[in-house]
C-alpha cells in the first residue's frame, strides 16, 4: 500500500501540484481515509519526501553513469540517457516540472530538495566539463560552471515545451543539437 500511495501522490502532485492536491485526495484515490493513509505516511510532507525519493532513484542511477574522466561523447550520452528516461516516464517529467516550479518558494517543503539537487547536478556537470576542456575536447570559451547552468536550463525548458506540445517539440533532437553545438570541439588552427 505504501508503493500505491507514492504512485497516487506522484500522479496527483504531477497534475495538480503539491499545493493543489491534498492528503485526503491521495487517500481517496486509494479508496481509504486520510486517517488510514497516516499509517503509511504521517503527513503530506512525509508523502512528498517519499515521492521525491522515488522520482530521484532513476536520476541518481543516471548521474552515476558518467565515468570519472568523461569525454565529450560520455557527457552527450549521459544527457541523452536522461532524456530517454524522461520520455519513457512522462508523468515523472511532469512531476518534476510542477514541483520544481512550486519549490522556488522558500516556504515550499521541497525547496531545499530541489535547490540541493540542482547544486549537485551543476557540480557533476561542471566537473565533467572541466575534464573535457582540459583534454581539448570542448571549446574553453565558456566557463564550465556556466556550461552546466546553461545545459540544465535548456533541459528543463525544452522538457517543459515537450510536455506542453509533444507533437511539435522533439525533445531529443532539440537537446542533441544544442549539446552538440554547446560542447563543440575547439576550432582547428
Cα separation, 116 vs 114, in Å, equals 5
CATH of domain 1-45: 1.10.10.60
Task: Find the mean pLDDT for residues 48-74.
Answer: 74
Which 3-state string (H, E, C) describes the chain? CHHHHHHHHHHHHHHHHHHHCCHHHHHHHCCCCHHHHCCCCCCHHHHHHHHHHHHHHHHHHHHCCCCCCCCHHHHHHHHHHHHHHHHHCHHHHHHHHHHHHHCCCCCCCCHHHHHHHHHHHHHHHHHHHHHHHHCCCCCCCCCHHHHHHHHHHHHHHHHHHHHHCCCCCCHHHHHHHHHHHHCCCCCCC
pTM score of the predicted model: 0.81
- The CA-based dihedral angle spanning residues 139, 141, 145, 149, taken in that order and rounded to the nearest 10 degrees: -90
pLDDT for 56? 72
Task: Find the mean pLDDT for residues 68-87.
Answer: 88
Domain ranges of the chain: 1-45, 65-182
Q: Is the pLDDT of residue 178 over 80?
A: yes
Q: Is the pLDDT of residue 19 over 70?
A: yes
pLDDT for 21? 87
Count CB atoms within 10 A of the CB of residue 141: 10
Q: Is the pLDDT of residue 83 over 80?
A: yes
pLDDT for 62? 54
C-beta separation of 112 from 52 below 8 A = no
Topology given in CATH for the domain delimited by 65-182 = Tetracycline Repressor; domain 2 (1.10.357)
Q: Is the pLDDT of residue 37 over 60?
A: yes
pLDDT for 42? 92
Amino acid at each position: 500500500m505504501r508503493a500505491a500511495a507514492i504512485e497516487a501522490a506522484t500522479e496527483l502532485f504531477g497534475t495538480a501540484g503539491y499545493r493543489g492536491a491534498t492528503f485526503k485526495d491521495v487517500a481517496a484515490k486509494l479508496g481509504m481515509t486520510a486517517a488510514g493513509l497516516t499509517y503509511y505516511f504521517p503527513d503530506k510532507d512525509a508523502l512528498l519526501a517519499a515521492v521525491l525519493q522515488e522520482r530521484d532513484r532513476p536520476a541518481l542511477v543516471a548521474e552515476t553513469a558518467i565515468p570519472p574522466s568523461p569525454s565529450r561523447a560520455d557527457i552527450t550520452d549521459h544527457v541523452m540517457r536522461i532524456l530517454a528516461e524522461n520520455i519513457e516516464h512522462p508523468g515523472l517529467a511532469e512531476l518534476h516540472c510542477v514541483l520544481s516550479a512550486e519549490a522556488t518558494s522558500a516556504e515550499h517543503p521541497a525547496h531545499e530538495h530541489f535547490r540541493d539537487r540542482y547544486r549537485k547536478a551543476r557540480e557533476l556537470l561542471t566537473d565533467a566539463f572541466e575534464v573535457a576542456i582540459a583534454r581539448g575536447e570542448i571549446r574553453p570559451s565558456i566557463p564550465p560552471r556556466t556550461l552546466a547552468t546553461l545545459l540544465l536550463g535548456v533541459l528543463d525548458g525544452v522538457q517543459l515545451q515537450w510536455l506542453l506540445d509533444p507533437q511539435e517539440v522533439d525533445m531529443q533532437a532539440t537537446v542533441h543539437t544544442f549539446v552538440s553545438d554547446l560542447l563543440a570541439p575547439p576550432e582547428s588552427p
